[in-house]
Amino acid sequence: MDRGKKGSKIPLITERTGLPLSIGISGANLHDSQALEPLVRGIPPIRSRSGPRRRRPAKLHADKGYDYDHLRRWLRQRGIRHRIARKGIESSTRWGPIAGRSSARCPG
């Protein structure tokens, strides 16, 4: 049985107001979790109000598609706080305003 899906997906990371920071394109059969690392690495340096440009988000919100220990570890190692919905634990209704516009968001 072939479970592969035809088509493509456009995973993206946005800042709090919905402005895209990093955009990718992948096959529809690629799991969402495999897109997170390249997307975070693809965020350009962002000018802050004071100090040097920020090269990574301070915090990242993501939906249940990113609920994997290796991704949580990877984010922690880079000093990125995360809020990732847990599969089978948290209701998606709580995440409506957070994960509704994109897969992963970086609150600014």
- Note the pTM of the prediction, 2 decimals: 0.70
- Determine, yes or no, domain membership for 33: yes
- Determine, yes or no, domain membership for 56: yes
pLDDT digits (tens, 9 = 90+) for 11-24: 888 888 888 889 99
Domain total for the chain?
1
Q: What tokens does 4 get? A: 């592969």
Q: How far is CA 4 from CA 28, 30, 45, 60, 78, in A?
A: 8, 9, 36, 29, 33
> Long-range pairs for 83-86 at CB < 8 Å and ≥24 separation?
83/59, 84/60
pLDDT digits (tens, 9 = 90+) for 27-60: 888 888 888 999 999 888 877 777 777 777 888 8
Which structural domain range is residue 31 located in? 8-106
Given this model, what pLDDT does residue 77 score? 93
Residue 79 backbone dihedrals phi, psi, to 5 degrees? 75, 25
Q: How far is CA 41 from CA 23, 60, 83, in A?
A: 11, 13, 18
